[in-house]
Amino acid sequence: MQGRNILRDYILKSIKKQSVNKMKSFPQILNRDLIFLNKNTFLLILSIFLSAEILLAQQAETTFAWPEGKQIAISLSFDDARASQVDAGTALLDQYGVKGTFYVVPNSVKQRLEGWKKAVASGHEIGNHSFNHPCTGNFPWSRQKAIENYTLKKMRNELMLANKDIKELLGVEAEVFAYPCGQTYIGRGENTKSYVPVVSKLFLSGRGWLDEGPNAPQFCDLAQLTGMEMDGKDFEQILPLIENAKKSGAWLVLAGHEMGTSGNQTTRLSMLKKLIEYAQNPANGIWIAPVGTVAKYIKGQKG
């Protein structure tokens, strides 16, 4: 930017100098004037060229071409295959023709198998959320399956086992994954290892949890997508997240658990109703689609 300003100042000074000379005697300075003119024309063209190039580079950094001229993408994702998701949640999504992403644990799917089959038939995306939901042993409920005691091999085997069960139960290949508790490591201390590379090899994408911002489509790592909480919130609390995502044309992946009227770790159906109606208003420029659909689109755009 500084370079451009210097260039602009130089051009202005040259033009001013040239005008003063013109007032003296046109024929006397004709030759010099032509040199000035050529030099100025050259500098002017160079300046325009540089400005255009900088502008294009900035646009490539900040904008991403969403389909049909949409300004942002939103995905609605739900974890753990909680019963309320198929008991109450999918019916609301179906009412509006919106497809969600459900990251399931196979054993929980078995509790509502018919409901989950119906969800698949309605076109909802089924993702992998591991075989037995291992998290840090700091959670008492996870002490016996603490990721601190895992190896990469054990993690990989269990992710594949979950894929196999999902296929057997629901007939679908899980293409997307959500890290249980949003934790992406195994082991402890010097022996801690990330299992992002394992997820990256097995899946199209991996989503985190309780993240602070949306995904920049032109930059994001599909194996480390951010997931922002939508549990326990009214639409008025979700709207600022959408408006913030709109500033940079980002992809907002919302994540929730139970689907109901209120309660612990519950995405409110009243919020979802308002959110979907807002997202489906063409004036708001929102593409609402499952995680896998958006991830594939981004992959395609990146080439």
> Can you give the binding site for Zn ion, defined by CB under 5 A?
79-80, 180
Cβ at position 135, least distance to Zn ion in Å: 8
* CB closer to Zn ion, 249 vs 258: 258
Nearer of residues 181 and 245 to Zn ion, judged by Cβ:
181
- Measured from the CB atom, the residue of 134 and 180 that comes closer to Zn ion is 180
Burial 89-124 (b: 16+ CB within 10 A, else e): bbebbbeeebbbbbbbbbebbeebeebbeebbeeeb
Buried b (16+ CB within 10 A) or exposed e, 236-274: eebeebbeebbebbbbbbbbbbbbbeeeeebbbbebbeb
- Report the first-to-last Cα separation within the chain, whole angstroms: 31
Mark residue 97 as left, alpha or beta (left: phi above 0; alpha: psi -120 to 50; beta: remaining): left
Query: Is the CB of 195 or the CB of 297 nearer to Zn ion?
Result: 195
> Cα(250)–Cα(218) distance, rounded to whole angstroms?
9
Smallest gap from residue 286 Cβ to Zn ion (A) = 26
Q: How far is the CB of 90 from Zn ion (least distance, A)?
A: 18
DSSP state of 87: I
Nearer to Zn ion, 227 or 249 (CB): 227
Vertex 198: Cα angle to 192 and 204 (nearest 5): 140
* Minimum CB–partner distance for residue 50 and Zn ion (Å): 51
Inter-residue contact 238 to 254 (CB < 8 Å): yes
Rank residues 147 and 298 by Cβ distance to Zn ion and give the closer one.
147
Angle between helices 269-279 and 235-248 (to 10 degrees): 30
> Rounded to 5 degrees, what are φ and ψ at 74?
-130, 135
Alpha carbons 299 and 143: distance in angstroms, whole number = 37
Beta carbon of residue 49, minimum distance to Zn ion (angstroms, whole number):
53
For Zn ion, the closer of residues 199 and 286 by Cβ is: 199
Residues paired with residue 176 on neighbouring β-strands, in sequence order: 205
Q: How far is the CB of 181 from Zn ion (least distance, A)?
A: 6
Q: Report the residue number whose CB is nearest to Zn ion.
A: 79
Quote the CA–CA distance of 229 and 101 in Å, as a whole number: 14
In the complex, the smallest distance separating the C-beta of residue 193 from Zn ion, rounded to whole angstroms, is: 21
